[in-house]
Amino acid sequence: MLTPLSWLQKYVDITVSPENLAHLLTMVGLEVESIDRFGENFNSDQIVVGEILEINQHPNADRLLLPKIRLSPSETVDVVCGATNLSPGIKIVFAKPGATLFNQKSGKFQKLKASVIRGISSPGMICSELELGIGLGHENILILDKNLEPGSSLQGIFSDTILDLSITPNRPDCLSIIGVAREVAAITNKKLSDPEISYKENSAVSKSSPVEIHIESLDLCKRYCGAVVENVTVGPSPTWLKSALAKMGHRSINNIVDVTNYVMYETGQPLHAFDLNKIQDSKIEVRPAKNKETLLTLDNESIELNPSMLVIADSKNPVALAGIIGGLNSSVTQNTTRILLESANFNPTSIRKTASGLKLRTDASYRFERNPNEALASKALKRAIHLIQKISNQNVSCGKIIDAPGAQLASMSLQIDGSEIEKLLGVKVSQEEALSVLHKLGFQSNPKSQPSFSNDWTAKISIPNWRSDIKIQEDLIEEIARILGYDQFPTSNISGSIPEYIPNIPLHLREQVRDACVEFGMQEVITYSLKNESLLSSVSSEDSQNFVNIANPLNSETKTLRTNLMVGILETLSSNQNFLKEGPVKIFEIGRTFINKPGSLPIQNEVAVGLISGNSSSEGWTNTKNRKLDFYDIKGILEGVLSKLKLEVKYIPSEDSLLIQGQSADILIEETKIGKVGKISGHILSSFEINETNTLLFELDLNTIYSRSQNKIAFKPFATFPTSERDLTVLAGADIPSEKIESIILASKLATKCIPIDIYKQGSDNQKKSITYKIVFQSTSKTLTANEVSNEIKTILLNLKKTLDVDFRDK
Amino acid sequence: MKATNETEKIISEQLSALNKIGTAENLEEWRVNTLGRQGVITSILKSISSLPAEERKAAGSAANQGKIRLQDAFGIKQKQLLANDSSNSNDSLDISLPGRPTTGGKLHIITQTIREISSVFVSLGFQIEEGPEVEWGKYNFDMLNIPQDHPARDMWDTLWVEKDEHTNSEPLLLRTHTSPMQARIMEASSPPIRVIIPGKCYRYEATDATHEWQLTQIEGLAVDADISFADLKGTLYEFAKRIFGRDRQVRFRCDYFPFVEPGVDMSIDCFKCSGKGCSICSHTGWIEILGAGMVHPNVFKGVNYDPDKYKGFAFGMGVERIAMLKYEIDDIRNFYANDLRFLSQF
């Protein structure tokens, strides 16, 4: 809501600086987003009122004129001008060389220079709105009121300070100058003056221009006030009106339309003016549109209507989309002589649905959506008639206001209780203080006030009609608190008992996973949850029927909720690879995945994905053994992460098509798959434009892990007797997993550790592999002799031979 | 005696050679040549059998003692070298060279900020909860006193989930804020309540330097019989001071959110200009940190809490915004672009 201070000043005396006023308004809930200086260039004596004395033709150009302009009783000047709306006697804005004007070509404010145009010197310029920086009109020059004195400054008329207020949806009353003025009056302890609404009524009009108003449904239109004005002369608005609208960023159209807009900004009540001669049978119907009816709007757009939309119609056709926009055919034009002014109250939900459905948000619909009070309708109409009479000739005559179905204004009241204020705010507020705030805001109370030093008081508060947002006692308490100032209230600490602690195990485990990933060298990333549907399909094992799609996506890249974290992590690698050519990339993400579940919320499980790519270490002077990252690097990280969760898992060869078979594994807890690990297939990498083929990942379904984790540690006493180490080399078929050999070795009671320390493949087709294990022997009860260890090894060899077809070396 | 003297000579030669050794490689070479299977000592011991019988005993004893001396000296040398590591103890190092890189990664700046904020509230007795990111319209709006077709809905532009053709279910959406968890938590438990809810939210919003369609919020809720506006102020004041520093000024002003009454906006004075006005604070001197307020009675009624019996306060803040302010990040799009040159800075 733009609020020019000069306009505000008409209704409340402003005695503080604009900055201070902005601060005060912000504190009470009317946030000032900016303080704008309007028409700053008028603050110079280079821009003055001029009077056109005569208009001559430019000798060298058909389309240029040479008006003679009076700048003072003794000073005239001839300048070159191309505008078509010049006529002798009019008052214009004249800029002398040195004045700062908006230059349309450069798009900037620049100093005007005297120039020679087609051989004629032109020491100055007659200005349009655009050049003055107060509007967009630039084809016609701006015409000022006739009573302005040539040579006088325009500073007082156009220059202004404008506060740009952000009005919250609960305060439709503040979408108006009066509403803001009311707040200013309350917070600065000033009196609010009301706008003048008196006008002369001519009873003959109701006979000469009888109008019938019919409201079909009071649910859709609570009140419709109309008034006929005859003998109007449609023409340009006076300077003050043009200037007021320019400050609101609104174009001047003609005097009648300008008045309706002016009154809307001033009071918050949207109005509309119809050319009564264009209203068939002088009949106004407020009704739902009929199917396939159309309306040509003021914007020259044809809209197809339907019965969900409320229209204003004459006896035949819609003439306006109620509360949103008027129709072109019934609009006020130069030829209009009789008008019907409309000031109504429409159903906010209906207006909102229609306006958002048509994507046609106007100043009017914005205000009606916020449910202004119906009491405003007649008041604003009177104000508009007053202004039309004020700016028009003597002949305009206005008929009696038609009020359909007649105001039924219920006054609302609430009880306020001193103890409730103390309970909510945590401090006592005296009755005197509380009621004085409410009175300033226009509330009335019973009792009026009586000194009371306890919180034991109550009062009945009548709500003024413009405050339809006040519905419960808490709303009244907020009024008191915000005007007294939130900063004036004390602070305290919560005094009650601390709620019972309920451990959040999933969260705890997840954060352990996160910390472990970081500990083992990975950088956390967080990617978008919405993905391109086909990209997601290419890496998802989930049927696309189970995808959760967005009905109104921002674009096709953000259409579908992810079902896994692959897309995000691969995109991250892809976007980073160009500047990370040398070192390893190690990244991970933890986040939700989404799978549709008809009739309920989607399944929203948490998944962790880790990815490594490139070389084992960064370039550097200490780095002597660089190599490509491989399966055992990613598995090592994964094992580290899982060990933090005390999880025992097993690995079986994976058939996942995203991973290279033979270099990938499924991860199982007992028989339940909890994830996968391995090297990513080339076709996946190339579809993400990833150049590094040594790219590996793991993915863990955290929700399954949450339910399986035995995050309980019990101390086990450790043996203190010396250990003996022996190396054992096993020659086994290449398809025998080391895990099996290890488990047979560890079946020995004395073998406490078995670490594969060397491995190489042999045979013609790498059919055999030779693995050397370091086996650590230790007894919990004594020091082992060499003989005992040798015997144990013999048993192990025997078991290995018996269970698996293996050979041994270095016996 | 000749053989014995010869042995002594060889041993002292070996000892002096050992003394000069400075690297592990040379030491190993020495060990192989001296004490190894084909080393000097082995050949001495082998040669004893060819000596005259009367000399054998003395020669054998000398050789064995010498072997022990050499082994001891070897052990000591080995320890010395280990202690000096690969470089000579007298060499001075170029301490300006970078150390060997460690392998630790880093948490995303958003995670770090969530943890930092959470730890403040946890220390004040709040517990951490989480909730669904795809949510029913009912929880995101209706139960928060934001009815259908109310203009307040414009405060949260919404990404709606495509309707299932087969089931005529209630509208689903991507939650626009973490506030739906207020209602969920109150439905599931009874006062006293003190929780914070961090999590992702989504908006139908065009992206620019200060707007993102995906964002992270932390919601807070405290409900008890005697919670007041003063408690709200005290709790959030403490939070602001701990996160932004004791020197910061904290300001509370009136604001509007349909699910609270009175509604609050909390700001701190601008740390860049200390309140004078600059581009960071839009020339107001103040920076908005969070929205808050006393829980609206309609929200209590929706979860079957008696608004006459219980009071509560709620608050919500944008994690990205707090991180941007704390770390002087000028573009919100950095958070989800995941440029490692950005992430590795924090």
Q: What CATH number does residue B321 fall under?
A: 3.30.930.10
Q: Is the pLDDT at B89 greater than 60, yes or no?
A: no
pLDDT in tens, A217-260: 888 999 999 999 999 999 888 888 988 998 898 888 899 999 99
Domain boundary among A120, A140, A158: A158
**How many separate domains does chain A show?**
6
- B213 or A147, higher pLDDT: B213
Sheet of A31-38, strand order: A2-4, A160-166, A31-38
Say if residue B79 is in the same domain as residue B138.
no
CB pair distance less than 8 Å for A28 and B254: yes
Triad A397, A401, A405: Cα angle to 5°: 160
pLDDT at A47 over 80: yes
Q: Is residue B103 in a domain?
A: no
Contact A486 B192 (CB under 8 A): no
The rounded distance, in Å, linking the Cα atoms of A235 and A237 is 6
Q: What is the pLDDT, as a whole number, of residue A560?
A: 96
DSSP state letters, B188-207: H--SSEEEEEEEEEE-----
**Is A492 contained in some domain?**
no
Q: Is the same domain home to B40 and B142? A: no
Which whole-number Å values give the CA distances from B221 to A679, B114, B210, B312, in the listed order? 45, 16, 27, 7
Mean predicted confidence (pLDDT) in A166-195: 95
**Is A702 strand, coil or helix?**
helix
B260 has catalytic annotation: yes
- Which among A404, A428, A447 is the end of a domain? A404
Residue A810 has pLDDT above 70, yes or no: no
For residue A82, is pLDDT > 70? yes
Q: Is the ipTM of this complex over 0.90?
A: no
pLDDT category of residue B235 using cuts at 50, 70 and 90: very high
- Domain hosting B217: range is 109-343
Give the residue carrying structure tokens 């086994």.
A732
- Please choose, from the candidates A103, A154, A93, the residue with its C-alpha nearest in 3D space to the C-alpha of residue A125: A93
* Contacts across the A-B interface (CB distance below 8 Å): 260
Let me know whether A442 and A463 are in one domain.
yes
Question: Is the previous residue joined to B262 through a cis bond, with omega within 30 degrees of 0?
Answer: yes
CA dist A623 and A451 (Å) reads 83
Averaged pLDDT, B182-201: 96
CB of B103 less than 8 A from some CB of A:
yes
Q: What is the mean pLDDT of residues A666-681?
A: 93
Quote the pLDDT of residue A479.
Answer: 97
A contact test, residue of B256, B266, B270 with most A CBs within 10 A: B256
Over pLDDT 70: what percentage of chain B?
96
Residues B21 and B159 in one domain: no
Which chain A residues are closer than 8 Å to B136 by Cβ?
601
| A37-46, A291-300, A744-753, B189-198, range with the lowest pLDDT | A37-46
Whether residues A689 and A756 share a domain: the answer is no
The answer to whether A529 contacts B172, with C-beta atoms less than 8 Å apart, is: no
Q: Given CB atoms, is B341 within the 8 Å cutoff of chain A?
A: yes
Whether B253 and B264 have beta carbons less than 8 Å apart is answered as yes
Lowest-confidence pick of A198-212, A360-374, B121-135, B269-283: B269-283
Residues in chain B: 346
| Distance (Å, whole) CA B181 – CA B132 | 9
Same domain for B54 and B123, yes or no, is no
| Shared domain check, A419 and A388 | no
Answer whether A497 sits within 8 Å of B192, measured CB to CB. Answer: yes
Q: Within this chain, do residues B73 and B120 fall inside the same structural domain, yes or no?
A: no
Q: Are B7 and B59 in contact (CB under 8 A)?
A: yes
* Contact between residue A607 and residue A591 where contact means Cβ atoms under 8 Å apart: yes
Question: What pLDDT band is residue A342 in, cutting at 50, 70 and 90?
Answer: very high
In chain A, residues with a C-beta closer than 8 Å to the C-beta of B160 are 550-552
Q: Judge if B178 and B319 occupy the same domain.
A: yes
DSSP state of A496: S
Q: Which residues of A touch B228 (CB under 8 A)?
A: 423-426, 492
Q: Does residue A624 have a pLDDT over 90?
A: no
Cα torsion through B81, B87, B91, B92, rounded to 10 = -120
Q: Which residues of B18-37 are buried (b: 16+ CB within 10 A; e: fewer)?
A: beebbeeeebeebbeebbee
B238: nearest CA in chain A? A493
Indicate the residue among B84, B118, B136 that finishes a domain.
B84
State the CB neighbour count (10 A cutoff) for residue A808. 15
Catalytic site residue B203? Answer: yes
pLDDT range class, residue A626, cuts 50, 70, 90: confident
For the stretch B271-309, pLDDT in tens is 788 778 787 787 888 889 999 999 999 999 999 999 999
| Closest in B128, B311, B337 to A504, CB measured | B128
> Which tokens sit at A721?
């007797």
Q: Which of A575, A522, A503, A580 is nearest to A700 (CA)?
A: A522
Task: Say if strands A523-524 and A585-592 run parallel, antiparallel, or are unpaired.
Answer: parallel
Residue-by-residue DSSP string for A561-622: E-SSSHHHHHHHHHHHGGG-SSS-EEEEEEEE--B--TTSPPB--EEEEEEEESBSS--STT
Say which residue, A119 or B111, is predicted with more confidence.
B111
Task: Read off the CATH number of the domain in which A111 is found.
Answer: 2.40.50.140
Look up B213 and say whether it is catalytic: no
β-pairing, B127-128 vs A768-777, is unpaired
Could you tell me if residue B235 is left (phi over 0), alpha (psi between -120 and 50 degrees) or otherwise beta? alpha
Residues of B with CB below 8 A from A499's CB? Answer: 125, 127, 192-194
| Nearest residue, CB atoms, B167 vs list A349, A507, A598 | A598
Q: Is the per-residue pLDDT at A811 higher than 50?
A: no
Of B103, B159, B231, the CB nearest to A426: B231
Per DSSP, helices labelled H in A41-143 are 129-132
Alpha-carbon distance of A390 to A409, in angstroms, equals: 30
Residue A771: what residue type?
Answer: I
- Alpha-carbon distance of A399 to A401, in angstroms, equals 6
Provide the pLDDT for residue A623. Answer: 65
Distance from CA of B187 to the nearest CA of A (A): 16
Q: Which domain holds residue A96?
A: 41-158
Average pLDDT value over all residues in chain A: 89
List of residues 6+ apart from A305 with CB closer than 8 A: A289, A290, A291, A292, A293, A294, A295, A311, A318, A321
As a whole number of angstroms, the distance between CA A471 and CA A473 comes to 7
Q: Do residues A249 and A350 share a domain? A: yes
Q: Which residues pair with A754 in a beta bridge?
A: A775
Find, in chain A, the residue whose alpha carbon is nearest to that of B192: A499
The pLDDT of residue B88: 52
- Nearest CA-CA partner of B177 in B206, B149, B199: B199
Q: Are B178 and B316 in contact (CB under 8 A)?
A: yes
Is A489 within 8 Å of chain B by CB? yes
Whether residues B128 and B255 fall in one domain? yes
Residues B80 and B115 in one domain: no
Kindly indicate the confidence band of residue B252, based on its pLDDT and cuts at 50, 70 and 90.
very high
Q: Are B122 and B204 contained in the same domain? A: yes
Which of A377, A404, A431 lies at the terminal end of a domain, its last residue? A404
pLDDT at residue A134 above 80?
Answer: no
Digit-coded pLDDT (tens) for A778-803: 988 888 888 888 899 889 988 888 88
Interface test with B, best of A367, A526, A611 (most B CBs within 10 A): A526
